[in-house]
């Protein structure tokens, strides 16, 4: 199913970013439409994570323009807080708050940032915990859960913020193999609800199943943007072919 993307939520034009001498993003231009599911893949160090971390202002580009949800992203922007409320992020290492229970992890954002009343936030949190299939773990602490469960709590945490876009930074890379699918299943279900998702992942099965477009990056550049069918069957660049050979050979 190819989804025709709506008007762009994320609009990046000629983004460049350097870490000292290292050129991390080279002239990256990309649109992500409302309701689109975009998968970004590429070898490690290709700038995939850096790119999506720019999308919610965890990092800043040095030249080019980036607008997310109608907000211009730059370092001195006063609207960064508002921007981050619109864009959720799921991290490779989950980054749940270890001193809070699962329920508190989900309600702290809505109650403190969005000023939602406690009871309402808790009701929403329980709803989303059900949606990620762990309705009965609300009162546990993160360290009492498995990696897969923790990552699903992290997804629920983003959902509780009613984000317009959720960014996933290699959400399954830190998981034991037997837990990868439970997280991917939740992400597929989320995709079916029409959520705008930008996913950095090496899970090509997931890309094939839900992605509207696949972006292939190497050395800070976008080399290909294509539908998954066409990218997997027939990558246009030698780097793309090489990458697919390496990750699909087993």
Give how many residues touch another protein by CB under 8 A: 28
CA 155 to mean position of chain CA atoms: 10
Distances (CA, A) of 120 to 54, 90, 106, 138, 161: 32, 23, 12, 15, 12
DSSP 62: S
Q: Which of residues 147-186 bind another protein (CB under 8 A)?
A: 157-158, 161
In the block, residue with structure tokens 């460049």: 16
Q: Which residue has the tokens 């009701």?
A: 123
Which residues fall within 8 angstroms of residue 16, CB to CB, at 6 or more apart?
23, 25, 26, 27, 28, 61, 62, 63, 64
Distance CA 117, CA 98 (A): 23
d(CA 126, CA 199): 25
Q: Is 112 in the site for another protein (CB under 8 A)?
A: yes
Helix orientation angle between 177-192 and 147-160, rounded to the nearest 10 degrees: 20
Nearer to another protein, 7 or 99 (CB): 99
Hey, which residues between 32 and 61 contact another protein (CB under 8 A)?
Answer: 56-58
Nearer to another protein, 117 or 205 (CB): 117
32, 6 in Cβ contact below 8 A? no
The residue behind tokens 């999308």 is: 55
- 107 makes contact with another protein (CB under 8 A): no
Contact flag: residue 87 with another protein (CB under 8 A): yes
CA distance 182 to 133: 9
Q: Smallest distance from the beta carbon of 243 to another protein, in angstroms?
A: 27
Q: Which stretch binds another protein (CB under 8 A): 7-15, 67-75, 109-117, 219-227?
A: 109-117
Q: Does 70 bind another protein (CB under 8 A)?
A: no
Binding of another protein at residue 98 (CB under 8 A)? yes
Figure out which of the listed residues 114, 120, 176, 205 binds another protein, where binding follows CB under 8 A. 114
Q: Is residue 84 involved in binding another protein (CB under 8 A)?
A: yes
Q: Per CB under 8 A, which region of 108-116, 145-153, 209-217, 219-227 contacts another protein?
A: 108-116
Q: Cβ 4 to another protein, closest distance in Å? A: 29
Among 14, 95, 146, 173, binds another protein (CB under 8 A): 95
Give the residues lining the site for another protein (CB under 8 A).
56-58, 81-82, 84-85, 87-89, 91, 93, 95-99, 108-109, 112-114, 141, 143-144, 157-158, 161
């Amino acid at each position: 199913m190819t989804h025709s993307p709506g008007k762009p939520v994320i609009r990046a034009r000629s983004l460049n970013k350097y870490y000292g001498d290292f050129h991390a993003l080279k002239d990256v231009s990309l649109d992500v439409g409302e309701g689109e599911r975009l998968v970004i893949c590429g070898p490690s160090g290709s700038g995939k994570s850096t790119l999506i971390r720019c999308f919610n202002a965890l990092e800043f580009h040095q030249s080019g323009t980036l607008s997310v949800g109608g907000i211009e992203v730059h370092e001195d922007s006063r609207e960064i807080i508002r921007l981050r409320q619109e864009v959720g992020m799921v991290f490779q290492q989950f980054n749940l708050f270890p001193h809070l229970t699962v329920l508190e992890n989900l309600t702290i954002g809505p109650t403190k940032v969005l000023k939602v009343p406690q009871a309402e936030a808790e009701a929403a949190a329980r709803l989303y915990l059900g949606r990620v299939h762990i309705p009965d773990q609300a009162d546990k602490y993160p360290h009492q859960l498995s990696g897969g469960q923790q990552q699903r709590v992290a997804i629920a945490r983003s959902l509780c913020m009613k984000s317009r876009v959720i960014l996933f930074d290699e959400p399954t890379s830190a998981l034991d193999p037997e837990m990868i699918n439970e997280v991917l299943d939740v992400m597929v279900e989320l995709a079916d609800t029409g959520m705008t998702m930008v996913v950095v992942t090496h899970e090509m099965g997931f890309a094939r199943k839900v992605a509207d477009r696949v972006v292939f990056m190497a050395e800070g550049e976008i080399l290909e943007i294509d539908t998954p069918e066409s990218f997997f069957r027939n990558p246009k660049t030698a780097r793309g072919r090489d990458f697919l050979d390496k990750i699909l050979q087993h």
